[in-house]
Amino acid sequence: MNRINLIILFTTICQLALPQGWTKFQTDGSGKSSGLKLSIKYPSDWIQKDGTRPHILSIMESEIEGGLIQMVVYINVYQRNPLAEEISVMYSKENIKKTTGAIEIIEFDKTAQIDNERCCVALVKVEQKVYQDLIRSISKVNIIIWDKYLVQIGFMIFSNDNRYETQLKIYNKHRDTFNEIMSNVAILSKWE
């Protein structure tokens, strides 16, 4: 099978009907996606909003019993493709802690794969002060570096009681959904 037939087959598979209860978010390379074409499927009952900050493409969220789940899609583009050594630094625990503001790393895997690309996945505890309030959250961060792009897809879990124990229960209850979302991430630009 030649490259053109593989591209047509891949495009056809990506365009097949979504499983019931799922919606597709897809970039066409314009605007904040900085030339990258990306596709992500997420639950249809989640609300999608455009990102209001630079590099944040979209926020999908779901109010759930006891709290809120947010998924943030972030893209940054480098001037050149990062070297293997630079990627190793970006995929380190120290960098994850620094870039996420984590006070603790609960789980860490720098050998995971998303769309057949090596990535870094971390589950972290985050604590930040917003005005006088101390806000705690559990975040699952997925970082993919492909070509000259850094793609970060993060799931943040907030609870009404602001306790990590409650947030971990929410995370564990929805873990399969988060994994399903990440297993359906497609870097469409790879196939052009």
**Domain segments of the chain: what residues?**
21-191
Say which amino acid occupies 21: G
The CATH number of 21-191 is 3.40.1000.10
pLDDT digits (tens, 9 = 90+) for 31-69: 999 999 999 999 999 999 998 888 899 999 999 999 999
Angstrom distance (rounded) from CA 26 to CA 38: 6
Residue 190 sits at the vertex; the CA angle it makes with 25 and 19, to the nearest 5 degrees, is 35
Please compute the mean of the pLDDT values over residues 93-101 and round it to a whole number.
93
At 14-37, the pLDDT tens digits run 444 445 799 999 999 999 999 999
Q: CA separation (Å) from 32 to 26, 36, 58, 71?
A: 12, 9, 10, 17
pTM of the model: 0.86
Please provide the size of the chain in residues: 192
Mean pLDDT score, 160-171: 96
Characterize 37-75 residue by residue with b for buried, 16 or more Cβ atoms within 10 angstroms of its Cβ, and e for exposed.
bbbbbbbeebeeeeeeeeebbbbbbbeeeebebbbbbbb
| For the chain, percent of residues with pLDDT exceeding 70 | 90
Task: Assess whether pLDDT exceeds 60 at residue 2.
Answer: no
Residue 88 has pLDDT above 90, yes or no: yes
